Amino acid sequence: MEIGDFKLDIISDGTLRLDGGAMFGIVPKVIWEKVAKPDEKNRILIGLNCLLIRTPTDNILVDTGIGEKWSEKELSIYAISHPPTILSSLEKVGLKAEDITIVINTHLHFDHAGGNTRFNSKGEIVPTFPNARYFVQYSEYKHACSPHERDRASYLSENWLILSEEGQLFFTQEREEIIPGITVFRIPGHNLDTQLVKITQGNTTVIFLADIIPTTMHLPIAWVMGYDLYPVELMEQKKLLLSQAISQNWICIFEHDAKIPAGRIINNGKQYQVKEVKF
Ligand SMILES: [Zn+2]
C-alpha cells in the first residue's frame, strides 16, 4: 500500500496459539467460540502482524513478532508456526535485516519484542537489526526491567538487554514524532505504557493498534483480554479510539488477527464492523 511518500507492508512473523479464555477475558466460551474456533487444548489462532513503513529516509518496522529464540517445549506450548518469520517476510519485499533503520516497539511483551534480538552462529544473543534505533516508551522499559508478578511472564530481558548495551535503545515519552508523519502516543489499558503508532500522509491515516484492539473480534467494547491489566480504562480508551477511527476513516492494523490484518471500521448503529483493506 502506498500513502503519500510512504510504502506500507504487513510483515508476518507467523502464528501462535493462545488460550481462548485468556484472549476474551470475561466473555463466556459459548459466545466467543462462535467467532474463534478453539483447538483440542482450547487455544485459538493468533496472528503476528508487524508493519513495515518505507519512507524516503528510513525503513521502519513496527514490532518484531515473537522471534526465533524458543525451545522445542515453548514452540509446542504456544504452537508457534514459522515460517514466515520477520526476516523471511522482509526478504519477500526485498529487504535484509541490515536495511531496517528504525524499530518501534509498541511495548516489550515477548510477542511484540521477541524478534528484536536473535542468536548468532555462536549462540550469542545479538540485535536482529544491527543498524536500527529501537524506540520504546521509557516508562515501559522501566517496568519491563522490574515487572509485577501479574505480568512477569510476558517480559524476557533477552529481547532488550543487548540493545541497551549496544546503544541501540532509545526512549519516547507520552506523544512523540519519530519522523515527520509517524507519531507514537502512550495509551493505558492493556498495561500502563503501550504506545500506538499513527502514520499520516495527506488525508490518509493508518493506526497500528497493538494489544489495545488486538483482533477484529475485539471490536465490541467489552471484549477485552484476560491479559489486560486495566480493563475498565481500556474500554474507555477503545471508545475514544474507535470514534476517531470511524469519523476520520482511519485504516486500522490488527496485530494479532490471523485472518484480517487491516481494515476500516464502521458502526452500523448496533455494532462495530470491519471492512477489510488489502495491503
Ligand atoms: Zn500481544
Ligand 1 centroid to residue 64 C-alpha, Å: 11
User: Could you give all domains of the chain from N- to C-terminal order, each with its CATH number?
Assistant: 2-276 (3.60.15.10)
Residues 1-36 as b or e (16 or more Cβ within 10 Å = b): eebeebebbbbbbbbbbbebbebbbebeeeebeeeb
The rounded percent of the chain whose pLDDT value lies above 90 is: 99
How far apart (Å, rounded) are the C-alpha atoms in residues 42 and 48?
19
Dig out the grid coordinates for 213 from the structure.
484492539
Ligand 1 centroid to residue 203 C-alpha, Å: 29
Q: Report pLDDT for 279.
A: 85
Q: Report pLDDT for 180.
A: 97
Ligand 1 centroid to residue 23 C-alpha, Å: 10
Helix (H) or strand (E) holding 193, with range, is none
Ligand 1 centroid to residue 112 C-alpha, Å: 6
> pLDDT tens, 158-217?
999 999 999 999 999 999 999 999 999 999 999 999 999 999 999 999 999 999 999 999
Whether 237 and 36 have beta carbons less than 8 Å apart is answered as no
Q: Give the mean pLDDT of 26-33.
A: 97
Ligand 1 centroid to residue 224 C-alpha, Å: 12
Helix (H) or strand (E) holding 247, with range, is helix 231-247
CA 129 from centre of chain: 17
Ligand 1 centroid to residue 113 C-alpha, Å: 9
Q: What is the DSSP string of 84-152?
A: S-HHHHHHHTT--GGG--EEE-S---HHHHGGGEEE-TTS-EEESSTTPEEEEEHHHHHHHHS--TTTG
How far apart (Å, rounded) are the C-alpha atoms in residues 94 and 35?
35
What length does the chain have?
A: 279
Q: Report pLDDT for 173.
A: 97
Ligand 1 centroid to residue 106 C-alpha, Å: 9
pTM of this structure: 0.97
The rounded percent of the chain whose pLDDT value lies above 70 is: 100
Ligand 1 centroid to residue 83 C-alpha, Å: 19
> pLDDT tens, 142-174?
999 999 999 999 999 999 999 999 999 999 999
Average pLDDT, the chain: 97
Whether 258 and 15 have beta carbons less than 8 Å apart is answered as yes
How far apart (Å, rounded) are the C-alpha atoms in residues 171 and 18?
30
Whether 260 and 274 have beta carbons less than 8 Å apart is answered as yes
